Structure formats: C-alpha cells, structure tokens
Amino acid sequence: MKQFYKSKSLLKLSFLFAVLFSVISVLNSCNNDDDDEEFTDHIVQFEAKIITNGPTPAPTPPVTGNFKAVVTQIGTSPSTTFNPTGTTWSSGDQFVSSSQSQLNLAANAVLPYADSELIVNIYVDGELAKTKKVVGSGEKNASTYYSFLEL
C-alpha cells in the first residue's frame, strides 16, 4: 500500500511540473514578442515645380511653363490633377501609414526654354525623401517614387 501511495504522489508531482513548465513556456514566449515591426504613420507631401530660367532680360510679357497633369499614388490609390495652375503644385500634408509601402509622383509639363526645369519632390516627415529633375523645352515628364520598405 505504501508503494501505491508513493507512485500516486509521484504522478501528481510530475503532472504539477508539466503544468508549471507549460505555463512558464507560454509566458516566456509572450515576453519575446517584438512589436517593433508595427506600421507607423508618416506625414507625406508631394510637390512639383517648374523653373522657367530663360533669357536675360526676361521677355515681356513673361513666358512660363505650365502643367498638363500631376499624378500621385499612395499604395494602390492613384489621384490625378489635370491642368493645375501656376508653376508650383503641392498636395499638402497627408497622413500615410507605412503599411502602404510605396509612394509615387509624376508630373507632365510644357517647358518654354532649353534650360527650363521640371522638378518633382516627395517629402516624408518634413524631410526631402526623393527628388527628380528634368531639363529641356517642350513637353517633359518627371517621376519619382519612395518606398517605406527601403532600408
């Protein structure tokens, strides 16, 4: 009878150790979870500029370039602005999650002189992230992209 009591006690003790080991393993694995890879929000701004340059002194009336279209894309959502006025176009600040991964900007403009410039910029959190410049006259295209996945 004494041997039966010892084996029953040993069985209870081993079951207690198994349960205790399982609980410690689960708690330890939860401690090792890294939340560093969560997505963060960024402030993004798109900008396109035409710098006319040209002859000195400037002709009267002044000759400037003009935009035909500006296209932005955040993730898979494109947005097109046709014939924006002026020589500078800006999207304004937009909150974008880094889960969107890719930002695209393209501009099409007619430039008047051979040394005129079409510049497109992407700003992320107030800092210039990507820029592209095209020089020339006539119809010109400039495009750039930024990926949150780049290291």
pLDDT value at position 99? 85
Q: Are 116 and 52 in contact (CB under 8 A)?
A: yes
Domain ranges of the chain: 42-147
Enter the tokens of residue 103: 């930002």
Q: Where are the alpha helices (DSSP H) in the chain?
A: 2-31
pLDDT in tens, 44-82: 999 999 999 888 887 888 888 999 999 999 988 899 999
What would the pLDDT profile of 95-134 be if each residue is shown by its tens digit? 998 888 899 999 999 999 999 999 999 999 999 999 999 9
For residue 42, give the nearest of 103, 97, 112 by alpha carbon: 97
pLDDT of residue 25: 72
Alpha-carbon distance of 78 to 144, in angstroms, equals 14
Q: How is residue 82 annotated by DSSP?
A: E
100/90 Cα distance (integer angstroms):
20
CA–CA separation, 97 and 74 (whole Å): 10
Burial of 60 (0-12, 13-18, 19+ CB in 10 A): exposed
Does the pLDDT value for residue 17 go beyond 70?
A: no
The three-class DSSP label of residue 51 is strand
Q: What is the pLDDT of residue 151?
A: 47
Cα separation, 28 vs 60, in Å, equals 76
Q: What share of the chain is helix, strand, coil (3-state, %, to 5)?
A: 20, 45, 30
The confidence band for 139, taking pLDDT boundaries of 50, 70 and 90, is: very high
Choices 2.20.28, 2.60.60, 1.10.760, 2.60.40: CATH for 42-147: 2.60.60
